[in-house]
Structures are given as C-alpha cells and as structure tokens.
Structure 1
C-alpha cells in the first residue's frame, strides 16, 4: 500500500519557520495502530490524517506517542494541502473531529483562518508541582480543558525561560502554556508537552483557544496579535468571536512524498 504524504510548515510564510506537520490523505481509515506507527515514524509534533465523508473531511491528529483531541497547526496544514495540492474548490473547508466536533478553515488570499471552539479556563492555586519546572517563577496559574496556563510578567522572561522537561512531564495535563504581555504584539507564549511526546511545540494553534479568551479578557479587546517564541517562532492573529476563536496564519509546503507500507 502506498500513501501520499505532505510536510507543511504551518504559521510560517517561508520554509524552516513555524511548526512542521505531516498530512496524510486517506480514502478510508487505517487501523489506529498503523496511524500511530506512521506518526511515530514521521517524528513530528503532529501528523494529520483525513478522510472525505460527504461534504466534510473527518480529521484526526497523532503525536509520535498518542492521538490528541485538537491540533491547530496540523489542521492549518491539512487545509493548505487541500487548497494547494488536492484540488479542493471553494474558500471554506469543513473538518469534523471525532474528539472536538466541527472545525472550519477559511481561505482569505494567502492567509488561512481556523475556526475553533474557545476553551474554558479558571484560575488555580500556583502549587510547586506546576512551577518547579520553570525559572523564573510565574505569577499565576490557570487550568483549561487539557492544559495549564502559567502567567509571567514580561516577554523577556518567556524568551529566556529556563525549563526542566522531566519536571514538566510530571504535571498531569496535555501540556503547559507559558505566556506574558508582548513588546510589539499583544501577547507571547511557548508550549511544552512532554506528556504527549512533544518537549516544546514550535507553534501551537490549539493553545490559542485558551490564550485568546484569556488575553481578550485581560486586555479588554477581541482582536489580538501573538507570537509563539519557540526557536522556530510563529506569528498568529487571533479573534474571540463568542464561544469560538478565529486563529489566522500562513502555511508553506516543504515536502511531498510517498509512504510505502
């Protein structure tokens, strides 16, 4: 069996930036074990698989070790593949996630806009187990559906953050978002997910379903600019639209290949 595979740099305007994701179009679903093995072999933070079912595309995401509930950059990458390489006609793609429900991606010139559900979060006690993996210490902690969010004082702390992956991996969550006000954008962030096989994710669209309502409430506005300050760096624009979050960015194809199974 031969399968087509794409590798796309999401939330980037040129290759070697943003967050790389693999995208594998399927005519029908393979066994979960095989999907996981492909993701492990790819060894990227996420591999997206999709199957067309009527008017929508059922979409799933796998890290090298587990299937995840939601992935923004790999959804952006899948939409890019459909628009640029797989002949999709129209300006809006409807994805359906078995774990997160309907997800839409709209094309506006060379920008793709994700339409995702906004996360619910609440402040929690900043216990030692949450902050022991980071230096300096954050000033507050919050808990969303799958991640913790740690608030820091300024962009410099996020940029120069010292972190200990084994300590972070002990926290029972998908991962930990660290964030602070930005100097030239509304907010900056980084994302650590060793719990799901991704020590630091370069650009995490799904984390912005938490970050957007958080900073919207804090700054008193719905339209926000953001940078995820990983070594690869990603630029995003975000908007809170009721109970949805609109996350926009660009994508570029790095590789087109074939898998032999």
Structure 2
C-alpha cells in the first residue's frame, strides 16, 4: 500500500508540473516529493507509538525541504506539494488523494484544544500559494482555494474560495485547470468597481443639482434690486441682512 502511494506521488508530478523532465531530476530536486516520502516513513513509525523518532524524521525533512508535516497528519495518495517552501501541515490534518498544495500554505489549528483541530481536505483539492486553512474544517472534493486566501469555515465540494476571510464563489458547469490557482474571480475588485460606479453616478447628480441651483440664483439675482446676489462677500439675501444688522462686522 505504501509502495503504491509512493509510485502515485512520483507519477503525479509529471502530470502536474510541466517543468518535470526526467525521473532523476524529480527524485533528487523536488522537495515536495522528498518531504512526502519522509513523512510516510515518519507516519508509519508514529502509528506504532514510538516516541521521538517520527518527530525527528519530520524535523530533518523540514531542515532539508522547508516543508513541515507533523507525523500524525494523514496524506492521501498522489498528493503534490509544488515548490513547498513554508508549507505547514498540522498533526490532525488530513489531505485527500491527488490534492495540489503550493508554497506557503498552512493547514493549521486554532487555540489549544485537544483532538481534531486541523482541517480535512477532500480529493482533488487545490490550495493556492500562501493560503491558510485554519481549524477543524471540512473542505469538500474538487475545491479550489485561491492564493493568499484565509479559510475559516467549511467549504462544500466543487467550489472556489477567495479572499480574507475566504468567501465561496460557485463555478457550476465550468471545468478548470487545477494548475491555474491564480486565475480566480476577484470578488473584491468587482465590489469596488460597483462602488466606484455608484460614486460617479452620485457625483453627476450632485453636479447637476449644483448647476440647477446656480441657474436659479442667477435668475433671482436678475430680478432683485441693488444686485444683492452680485455681492462677492454675500451670496444670499439673509446673509446681507445679517451683515447690515451687525453693522458690517462680518
């Protein structure tokens, strides 16, 4: 079973990474593969209940690859960690088969509670660079999490999550390339654009009202004797009357 998982881990790299050219390069130059291979060894020792050794293997893997996977984490078949620097996978995290994880991803816990405190990822999940999935969450199958997103709630299958905190964007009936984790809808930019359009419309209304008011003032000024509206120091009749009452002290 472990051998089959290792073979699947090896083969998936050629499917997911166009830069993979030959098996020697993949075996010796892909830290994601190396970290997962060492984790599978550490995980089996961890399940046997031996102390220290699995954590030591995990620590060595982190030193050489920059990827930290707790020995207790469950990693499915054909999981690919691309580049991988800064990836952290917690003790009770579970990663489904054929998931794709980019650099800087954290599958972490919140608080100091015991038991299940890290996320569970379904199959074929894509977690973009720098994304954080925090807490005992359930992420469904075929979910895409955009780069830099922070996911704090459960996500059903076949959804896309973007933003801080992560918001769900459905893409029904659309097939997407799992490598295009940066080609995601920008809901924040859409909202900002709508707000800018609304502000522009309001500014046009205010300008139109000001022009109408100016025309009304000019019409009144043309009919008022002594041209009170033409006084550069007072725009309104009431201002003129107040100034006269105060003896020109305004």
TM tier, smaller: under 0.3
Q: What TM-score comes out, normalization by structure 1 length?
A: 0.24
| Bigger helix fraction | 2
Q: Which structure has more strand as a fraction of its residues?
A: 1
Higher relative contact order (CA 8 A, sep 6+): 1
TM-score, normalised relative to structure 2: 0.25
